[in-house]
């Protein structure tokens, strides 16, 4: 079946077309430039941008896939988690398409979508797999027995998400928003061993994470340097900060695989686009005999194809469609791939 996926949980209007693990169309319209000067997403601005971008983005996705709206067999949409007003635009549009076409509607989980998208690049996800989900709002280790029906959380961040830490530290270093890409670039010019920042929850025997202490340590470093009248070594700080983040992420992900006897690790979400995370994960997985899957950067950040990919799984699993009264759920838990 041909699945149309619609994503509007944050500031990307994403529309994807997928058949099984085959990616046919993937169009994204982002309002990120409109939020940059505020240093974070402004919900009302994001909602309005989704409203304006929705129909043209659906049109572009259909055109690039070379299919017609009438060819679509089911519609999948992000029901949560995300911004209330932003989610509402996507869910309303999806209901309208479902109603107009007389096709089933599936309200799916954005976070599980971040993992499901890997299937479009590397084929069916082996079962079981461990997923490290690292995005702007979430940092979780998941035991995935089945994308559509069996997702279990092993651990979470207790404070900031990994992407949030990148965005906050970028601000401290006067780098633009969103902070992931500029820190990634700055770190390549810096020495990761010049400054050793603390590793939150290192070796604490859990699969939880903490990044707020790290952020505070960076802030103190910057303050001290400025107070002493020295130039802030932006590249070294970026490199030291990044090393702390990816060291803990990869260590705990590999530990989770070993403890649960799982041979496959998938890393996804916006922070999975990070070059150092990808390199260190590759090295540590090779050492531990773990098969690593990381989608290409374009598929790591928010898009509609990830929602269509999860929709395809849910349809294949024979789960019942959502009702046309489907509600958004701003805090939909990760262990519910399909919203009620
Ligand atoms: P969530 O999925 O939790 O709802 P989100 O959808 O806003 O949050 P994503 O779009 O998955 O998050 O990811 C955005 C985050 O990824 C931002 O915090 C951004 O800084 C980060 N990011 C993007 N590219 C990189 C990179 N190269 N290195 C590190 N972080 C990155
Ligand atoms: Mg975004
Ligand atoms: Fe996301």
3-state secondary structure at position 84: helix
At 246, list the tokens: 């990816």
pTM attached to this predicted model: 0.96
pLDDT by residue (tens digit) across 63-113? 999 999 999 999 999 999 999 999 999 999 999 999 999 999 999 999 999
State the distance from the centre of ligand 3 to the C-alpha of 87, rounded, in angstroms. 12
Q: Residue 36's pLDDT is what? A: 85
Structure tokens at 268: 């996804």
Rounded average pLDDT over 302-309: 98
- Residue 133 is assigned to a ligand binding site: yes
235 belongs to an annotated ligand binding site = no
pLDDT in tens, 27-55: 999 999 999 888 889 999 999 999 999 99
Q: Does any ligand 1 atom lie closer than 6 A to the CB of residue 160?
A: no
Residue 31 Cβ < 6 Å to ligand 1: no
C-alpha of residue 163 to centroid of ligand 1, in Å: 5
Tokens (6 digits) for 123 = 């084929």
Q: How far is CA 320 from the centre of its chain?
A: 26
Tokens representing 69 are: 């709206």
Q: How many of the other CB atoms lie within 10 Å of CB of 258? A: 14
31 is in an annotated binding site: no
How many residues are there in the chain?
340
DSSP run (H or E) holding 263: none
Does the beta carbon of 295 lie inside 6 Å of ligand 1? no
């Amino acid at each position: 079946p041909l699945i149309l996926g619609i994503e509007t949980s944050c500031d990307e209007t994403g529309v994807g077309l997928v058949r099984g693990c085959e990616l046919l169309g993937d169009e994204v319209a982002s309002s990120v430039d409109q939020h940059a000067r505020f240093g974070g997403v402004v919900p009302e601005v994001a909602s309005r941008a989704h409203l304006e971008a929705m129909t043209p983005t659906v049109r572009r996705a259909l055109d690039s896939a070379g299919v017609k709206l009438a060819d679509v067999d089911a519609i999948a949409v992000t029901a949560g988690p995300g911004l209330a007003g932003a989610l509402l635009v996507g869910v309303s549009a999806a209901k309208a398409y479902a109603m107009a076409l007389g096709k089933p509607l599936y309200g799916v989980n954005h976070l599980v979508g971040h993992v499901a998208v890997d299937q479009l690049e590397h084929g069916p996800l082996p079962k079981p797999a461990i997923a490290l989900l690292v995005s702007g709002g979430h940092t979780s280790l998941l035991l995935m027995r089945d994308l559509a029906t069996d997702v279990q959380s092993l651990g979470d961040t207790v404070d900031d998400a990994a992407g949030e830490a990148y965005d906050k530290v970028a601000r401290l270093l006067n780098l633009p928003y969103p902070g992931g890409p500029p820190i990634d670039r700055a770190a390549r010019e810096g020495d990761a061993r010049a400054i050793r920042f603390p590793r939150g929850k290192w070796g604490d025997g859990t699969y939880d994470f903490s990044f707020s202490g790290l952020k505070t340590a960076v802030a103190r470093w910057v303050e001290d340097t400025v107070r002493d009248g020295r130039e802030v070594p932006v590249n070294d700080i970026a490199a030291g900060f990044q090393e702390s983040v990816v060291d803990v992420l990869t260590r705990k992900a590999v530990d989770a695989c070993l403890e649960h006897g799982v041979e496959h690790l998938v890393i996804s979400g916006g922070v999975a686009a990070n070059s150092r995370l990808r390199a260190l994960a590759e090295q540590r997985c090779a050492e531990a005999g773990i098969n690593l899957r990381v989608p290409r950067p374009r598929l790591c950040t928010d898009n509609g194809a990830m929602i269509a990919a999860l929709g395809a799984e849910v349809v294949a699993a024979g789960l019942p469609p959502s009702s046309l009264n489907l509600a958004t759920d701003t805090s939909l838990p990760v262990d519910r791939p399909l919203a009620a």
